[in-house]
A and B are shown apart, each in its own frame.
Chain A
Amino acid sequence: MNETLLRRVAAGDESAVQACIDRFGGLVWSLARRLLPTAADLDDAVQEVFVEVWRNAYKYDEGVASETAFVAMLARRRLIDRRRRLERRHDRDQLPDSAADDATATPVGLGLAEEARAAADAFEQLSSEQRRCLRLSVYEGLSHEKIAASTGLPLGTVKTHVRRGLIKIRQLLGVGPPLETEGATGEEVRS
């Protein structure tokens, strides 16, 4: 994997801009397909994400995250914003079959890079409830309220599982030092 791709983009290397499409096109397209509720504006959404990536390439720091994670982060933020803007959130009346009882889902390597495997390893270290809530929240795009309604868990518990799961992943992957905030790492489950 060429670790300098985003730096080349930031430096104005036009071939790197095209190379970004080659490398991350499938990832961004797949994220858009999953996170947006309709296929009507997928092309526009993907374009919006890539423009965001190109514009923010100068912010990339390989000491903090992989290029894939950085691109996925920007893509998710833009796609989530777009979904809110359209006021057409995922409106799934029922939990996806794969998610309803998928607390032990086995992450599958993407073939993207080793960071996917590292992320999968970190994910596996979460509790089953944390994995379940994160899967519904992050992967399926459900709101915390909808997760609570669908799983029967109290809303506060859902939020706690999601928060605690993310905190653990960021610590395992080294994307930030431990939080010092009181309550952020506590063991109680809110209800």
Chain B
Amino acid sequence: MSSTFSNWSRGERELDLLVGRATQGLSEAELQELRQAGADEELSFDLAAAAADLAMIDQVEPMPASCRAKLEHAARTFCASQRPPVVEVVGSERRDGVAGRIDSERRISMGWVAAAAGILLAVLAWLPKLSVSSTGGGTPPLAATPAERRAVLLAEATDKGVWSWSDFKHPETQADPEIKGVRGDVVWSGERQEGYMRFEGLPPNNPANERYQLWIIDERGLSQRVSGGLFDVHAQGETIVPIRPAVPIGTPAIFAVTIEKPLGVAVSDMTRRACAAIAVR
């Protein structure tokens, strides 16, 4: 926080933007302008507005019990996402070994910038292959493998969505992805905050050189950063990877997989793409 107060030679326009953000919010274009000016991490005006707000509050209402219950559920989800990653047995044909895993990458702030909108619009034009199904509810029994847990989710989550992978073409140039023809799907339940990616044709990677990175965009869109995490594929054939987002996901709009350096990236340039699934309901 203190590091954000290093540059005080602000121009009029930057001050207008900082004051505007602190009081009435900014448009995406204005936020981008602030980022380009290197002032988006400047917090002192936001803190001043918060202080002014605190000064004027005359009473604090207690949070309703129903809201608190939801919040405590979110807290448990958040805490679970922060625990050390667990090596998962994935790939229904390989229960005797590790075929892949996914890490919760709390430090990777996704920072999916304007290109995300392009992805959403451009990919929508040729990608959607949608199937949504619903079956009865119930509490899922414990399942040992991602494949089994995925089956339970498919069978019992009433709000689940299932969306097919397609080639993740470049949103502007429409260039083909580096990895083409990946098959499989994403299944996701918002109520359970649980989901799985099933891949066929996603080639094994060498984690020392590169890793797959999942990106999720929900209805919060560009302003909300959601980390999808890194994962590896260690075997040919079908691979199932559990999704463990670092934060609760709202209504997902797109799941996309890119190939990145071993530690992942904060903002993908999308030069190395694999597949994407548009979550249209």
Contact = CB atoms under 8 A, between A and B. Distances in A.
Which secondary structure characterizes the binding site on chain A? helix
Interface residues of A, number: 82
B208 interface: no
A121 B261 CA distance: 51
A169 interface: yes
Given A17-B75, A184-B15, A76 B49 contact: yes
Contact of A119 (B22, B55, B83): B55
A5 to B, nearest CB: 14
B45 A166 contact: yes
B12 A122 contact: no
Most chain B beta-carbon neighbours within 10 Å: one of A65, A118, A138, A167:
A138
Interface residues of B, number: 62
Contact of B15 (A69, A107, A177, A181): A181
Interface in B9-28: 9-12, 14-16, 19-25, 27
Given A81-B25, A83-B25, A184 B10 contact: yes
Contacts, number: 219
Nearest to B58: A108
A21 B68 contact: yes
Contacts of A25: 62-63, 68, 71
B133 to A, nearest CB: 25
Interface string A74-106: 011100110111000000000000000000010
Given A17-B79, A51-B78, A61-B2, A110 B19 contact: no
Given A107-B56, A120-B55, A181-B12, A170 B50 contact: no
B247 A50 contact: no
A53 to B, nearest CB: 10
Contact of B70 (A30, A47, A55, A112): A47
Contact of B8 (A44, A115, A144, A177): A177
